Amino acid sequence: MQCTILDKSSKTEVSHWWHIKVGDDFYIVSASFMANEVMVFPTNAECEWISSKEVTSVVGTLNHKEGIEALIQVLSEREDDEEEEETSISENDALERFDHFLDECWENVWVCGYEFTSSRALKQLDPTAYREEFNNWLDSEGLELNA
């Protein structure tokens, strides 16, 4: 994860701030002299705080680089959690998404004057083909069913 230090000059009586960019996001890494702690807060590109809730902190140090390392660790863990969530899905949710996919790709089917969605028609007329296409769709989407 790429970290760019934008400004190291912000200093007050109680802390010294670095404005950094990690990926597309901006942060202040603040070393608090009074608390002997480095805290990281989200900001915008102009270095204006967008939340007073810290992203992470490291107690017992005033080293900005340790705060940056902690931030990168937190962001990496979040990415791992998001990737895991995106690839694992319940069978019911997957079937619902697959049906929606089929219905968006194919027009409704008419049988003896009655109209059916393409997903329902395939599911009812050829359950084996429906399941094969469902499995192919799971693979193409990079999804796995929850155990």
Residues in the chain with pLDDT < 50? none
Give the pLDDT confidence score for residue 91 in this predicted structure: 93
pLDDT of 95? 95
What's the pLDDT tens digit per position in 68-110? 888 888 888 887 766 555 678 899 999 999 999 999 999 999 9
pTM of whole model > 0.85?
A: no
DSSP states of the chain:
--EEEEEEEEE-SSEEEEEEEETTEEEEEEEETTTTEEEEEEE-TTS-BS-SS-SEEEET---HHHHHHHHHHHHHHHHHHHHHHHHEE-HHHHHHHHHHHHHHHS--EEETTEEE-HHHHHHHH-HHHHHHHHHHHHHHHT-EE--
